């Protein structure tokens, strides 16, 4: 058998070595200075776009650029991509993000500054597959080919990159600890 995984939705994971204490302190200071935006977040704090020249995130931006350029090679983009914007998300108990995607960009992602067990998985969706074509009763075991959803547990100092059009949500933080992440969009 020759297998072609047509129309793949690649989600890449990279382990970084960022100064998480410094990033956490910066994120918490933003929450004190700004009102939260209300976008896909259900509760919690969603910052405005962050000035990419801030000293506290320079190291992260430099590393992010390296990794998103590596990921972009999968798509064979002709032109270099740019970081369009990034923001901080802080989620307390029961805070999460509703299903959404990221229009007007090509690559999106999240970096976990602070995330413990049960702090809210990220869930990716390909609902049409299960809702209209594959009946759940006929599947003996879910895998990346037959699933309409796939989730990943957040892990500190981990960067996830995915196509901006891929619908996703963040389940509620069911731990008693704060989850802190940086989200971003990349495009032309």
Q: Residue 50 domain-assigned?
A: yes
Dist. CA 30–CA 52, nearest whole Å: 14
In a domain, 3, yes or no: no
pTM for this entry? 0.93
- The pLDDT score that the predictor gives to residue 3 is 84
Per-residue pLDDT, 79 = 87
Cα separation, 152 vs 161, whole angstroms: 12
For residue 167, the enclosing domain spans 12-187
Per-residue confidence (pLDDT) for residue 37, from 0 to 100: 81
Asked if residue 1 belongs to a domain, the reply is: no
Domains held by the chain: number: 1
Q: Does the residue 28 lie in any domain?
A: yes
Q: Specify the pLDDT at position 22.
A: 96
81, part of any domain: yes
Residue 183 lies in a domain: yes
Query: For residue 97, what pLDDT is reported?
Result: 95
Q: Is residue 7 part of a domain?
A: no
The low-confidence residues of the chain, meaning pLDDT below 50, are none
In a domain, 143, yes or no: yes
CA angle 71-76-50, nearest 5°? 45
CATH of the domain at 89: 2.60.120.620
Decide: 86 and 49 in contact? Cβ < 8 Å.
yes
């Amino acid at each position: 058998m020759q297998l072609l995984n047509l129309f793949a939705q690649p989600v890449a994971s990279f382990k970084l070595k960022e100064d998480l204490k410094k990033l956490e302190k910066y994120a918490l200071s933003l929450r004190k200075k700004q009102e939260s935006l209300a976008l896909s977040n259900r509760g919690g704090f969603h910052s405005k776009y962050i000035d990419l020249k801030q000293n506290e995130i320079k190291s992260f931006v430099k590393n992010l650029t390296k990794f998103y350029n590596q990921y972009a090679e999968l798509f064979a983009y002709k032109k270099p991509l740019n970081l369009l914007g990034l923001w901080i998300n802080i989620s307390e108990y029961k805070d999460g993000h509703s299903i959404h995607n990221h229009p007007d960009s090509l690559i999106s992602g999240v970096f976990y500054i602070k995330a413990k067990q049960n702090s809210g998985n990220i869930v990716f969706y390909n609902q049409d597959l299960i809702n209209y074509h594959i009946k759940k009763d006929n599947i003996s075991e879910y895998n990346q080919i037959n699933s309409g959803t796939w989730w990943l547990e957040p892990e500190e100092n981990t960067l996830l990159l995915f196509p901006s059009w891929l619908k996703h949500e963040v389940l509620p933080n069911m731990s008693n600890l704060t989850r802190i992440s940086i989200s971003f969009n990349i495009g032309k």
